[in-house]
Structure 1
Amino acid sequence: MHPLAQKDMIRSIGLMTGTSMDGLDISVVDIVSHQYKLSPQNIISDTIPFPAQLRKSICETVSGGEELYAKLDEDLGKWMAEVVSSFVDENNITGIDLIGSHGQTVHHENGVKSVQLGNPEYLHRALGVPVIYDFRTADIGAGGTGAPLIPKVDEWLFQKAESAVIALNIGGIANVSLVPPKNKGEIVGFDTGPGMALLDEVYRSHFIEGFDGSGKAASQGMIDMALVNAWMEDAYFKMAPPKSTGRDYFGPSWVTAHNEELNNISFEDRLASLSLFTAKTIHESCKSFLEREDVSELIMGGGGSHHGQIFFHLERLFQAVQVKRSDEYGVSIDEKEAVGFSLLAVANIKEIPGNIPSVTGAKEAVVLGEIYPAEQSIEA
């Protein structure tokens, strides 16, 4: 067992570069452990945008091949170490014990392989503390899909005594977790499909850079219901959980496959239609696979929660359920996943399983992540 496991409170940095590929989410969290429950306190968070050249390299690597992995692994690792060091210094943060770094996903093959880049050696050198990384491989090794991993975090953050909640994260890909009251059912979670990925692709095909984060451009268009209904026929939405997906599917290749029909409508109409499509995939997925009468709230996190049109459609579709943002629970919608990986890093140190077999399809619950440097992990 790692020496840090004996501490009741661990100050952990969580780092997340998501499928939206817009920057690095950083959260510094004091995490208190009680048996198998972890509770975050005193969260300090920020998002640091990627430099244009680094973002270009990430996009090229995602759409390219394995021969590009090594260079991005080094470049991203060095950049992350620099910005995290600056963040710690600028905020006068001391007493860091641990870093949980998810890394940038460049390939995710459901239940077969998941690749995240960002060499942890540079973070360790810069901060002088252990780094937990490569969170998905252990679940895949146990027969799981490797995603989503945030449902365990949703349990720690949002579980209520008397009612169930649905926790929704909208990054590039959207995922949901049904968190039942304690001891009243099992957690179910999966990727519902596109979050901001398709909207971002269409926006950047028009403007090269940027994205319609607030949904302002989408609000100026008209929805093409025939297209939305046709898109809803995709086989992924009918597939029962456990399941996960990524930009490999709902990304550039999806837009290319639907290019002809997208080009038949205006730019604003494309964004308006994709906004409803995204909301409908979330709602229909919950309706099909998470049906419970005691769901009281839908709690949104992730950058897509800023998108006014998606939020509007979700409020209308989930009529009987309160739609809230995770800010109301003290967790910034932009840094929820970074907070999540700070928690999963502590779970690794304390040998607490971080996956949920009913979510990923794994044969058993396992401890997630590798530790760098490896010699920091010692037997009790």
Structure 2
Amino acid sequence: MSPTNYTSIGLMSGTSGDGLDIAYCSYELQHQWSYEILDAVTMPFPKEMGEKLMNSHTLSALELALLDVDFGKWMGEKVRGYCIEKQIKPLAVCSHGHTVFHQPAKGLSLQIGNGWGLHQASGLKTINDFRMLDIQLGGQGAPLVPIGDRLLFPSIDFCINLGGIANISMESAGKRIAFDICPFNLLLNAQANALGADYDQGGTWASQGTLNEKLFNALNTLPYYSKSDAKSLGREDLEVDFLPLLISSGLSEKDILRTLVEHFAFQIGQVIIQHKISDYPSVLITGGGAYNTFFIDRLNSQMEGKWLQTHASSKLIEFKEALVFGFLGVLRLRNEINCLSSVTGARNDSSGGVIFG
């Protein structure tokens, strides 16, 4: 009989490039899966490594190969130190890695953070490279989190993550579907940077700005919003489609922030209204944007108050993706599906991830 209780460490290196999320979690299977984030921490990257990771797509082949090994080893050392400090021995460490190239149409998605390096430095069984199998099956290799949404949060109608990009996952006609709705912190933080801060805390500056109808309408008519279902946004899309509209608007940073927040609330509200199957759908919001109280207020206005925001602890808001990667590793060790073709467009569901040790 296979065990029903697992502990693992999930590792996530996000687009913001500020550090490595380490989440030590337990997962238990009774009638359905349950989880607990036992402890979690973000380890800042050493300055030089952080800069190399953010510019990894510009490195030479040799420099990239060296960074792959260095990063894997560094993550392993951090995990080893963390396990000694907490006196824990998880079953495995499960790493998303740092994405350098993501070009599924060419059969490629590269996440660095060498598995052997991580395994040897941590002393733990290691699982990484979760995307490549799905891509070879004709899928996008992303998003990977929706299987976690389905199995760990089965009672919630909509799981929304407000990171650099806003994405959503939900059940629709018996299938899990997920896609990027709109940009989020990548655009908001850039305006806050111009005002001298890393981000607009609580959306205070946005609340002081004025909605500009012309920019609001121009954003809403971008071609991305007329695409249906499986779709994703990258930095490239923001540079080509969104930024020129913001720059040419000639508006102040606060007015741009206000207009962006209204635009995001409108787009996210529309998706929930379009897909909801009850009058008051339940919505879980995680990622840094969950702390933007002005945005939450504007979304509530779009929904006319007809929704139920599920309470999320600060641990869940900040470490949900690391929690899910720990879970993807557990499913991989059980040889169970951890990647859904209904989400990625692959020929079939699969159990992805390479195991070291």
SS class of match (1:187): strand
Residue 354 (structure 2) aligns with: 370
- In structure 2, relative to structure 1, the CA distance for the partners of 1:41 and 1:109 (3 Å cut) is same
Residue 339 (structure 1) aligns with: 323
1:166 to partner: Cα distance: 0.6
Residue 305 (structure 1) aligns with: 290
Once residues 177 and 371 of structure 1 are traced to their aligned partners in structure 2, the CA distance between those partners, rounded to angstroms, is 27
Q: Relative CO higher for 1 or 2, CA cutoff 8 Å, sep ≥ 6?
A: 1
Per the normalisation by structure 1, the TM-score is: 0.83
Once residues 82 and 269 of structure 1 are traced to their aligned partners in structure 2, the CA distance between those partners, rounded to angstroms, is 45
Structure 1, gaps ≥5 residues long: none
Once residues 246 and 284 of structure 1 are traced to their aligned partners in structure 2, the CA distance between those partners, rounded to angstroms, is 21
- In structure 2, relative to structure 1, the CA distance for the partners of 1:259 and 1:271 (3 Å cut) is closer
Q: What is the CA deviation profile of residues 134-184 of structure 1, one whole-angstrom value per residue up to 9, with x for unaligned ones?
A: 111122222222221111111122212xxx61111111122111147xxx7
Judge conservation of contact 1:110–1:244 (CA < 8 Å) in 2. no
Amino acid at match of 1:309: F
1:292 to partner: Cα distance: 2.6
Identity of aligned residues (%): 31
SS class of match (2:192): helix
Structure-to-structure mapping, 1:204-215, within 5 angstroms: 204=193, 207=196, 210-215=198-203
Residue 24 (structure 2) aligns with: 28
Judge conservation of contact 2:206–2:261 (CA < 8 Å) in 1. yes
Q: What is the CA deviation profile of residues 309-359 of structure 1, one whole-angstrom value per residue up to 9, with x for unaligned ones?
A: 2222222222311123432xx961100000000000111111111122222
Dislocated runs of 4+, deviation >4 Å:
65-68, 252-256
User: Which structure has greater helix proportion?
Assistant: 2
Residue number among 142, 146, 170 corresponding to 1:147 in the alignment: 142
Judge conservation of contact 1:108–1:246 (CA < 8 Å) in 2. no
SS class of match (2:56): helix
Residue 268 (structure 1) aligns with: 254
Judge conservation of contact 2:203–2:292 (CA < 8 Å) in 1. yes
- In structure 2, relative to structure 1, the CA distance for the partners of 1:239 and 1:287 (3 Å cut) is farther
Residue number among 165, 169, 189 corresponding to 1:200 in the alignment: 189
Q: CA RMSD in A?
A: 2.7
Once residues 273 and 39 of structure 1 are traced to their aligned partners in structure 2, the CA distance between those partners, rounded to angstroms, is 39
Once residues 233 and 308 of structure 2 are traced to their aligned partners in structure 1, the CA distance between those partners, rounded to angstroms, is 27
Structure-to-structure mapping, 1:35-184, within 5 angstroms: 37-41=32-36, 43-62=38-57, 64=58, 67=61, 69-90=64-85, 92-112=86-106, 113-160=108-155, 165-179=157-171
1:206 to partner: Cα distance: 5.5
Structure 2, gaps ≥5 residues long: none
1:8 to partner: Cα distance: 2.9
Per the normalisation by structure 2, the TM-score is: 0.88
Amino acid at match of 1:317: Q
Residue 292 (structure 1) aligns with: 277
Residue 349 (structure 1) aligns with: 333
Judge conservation of contact 2:13–2:21 (CA < 8 Å) in 1. yes
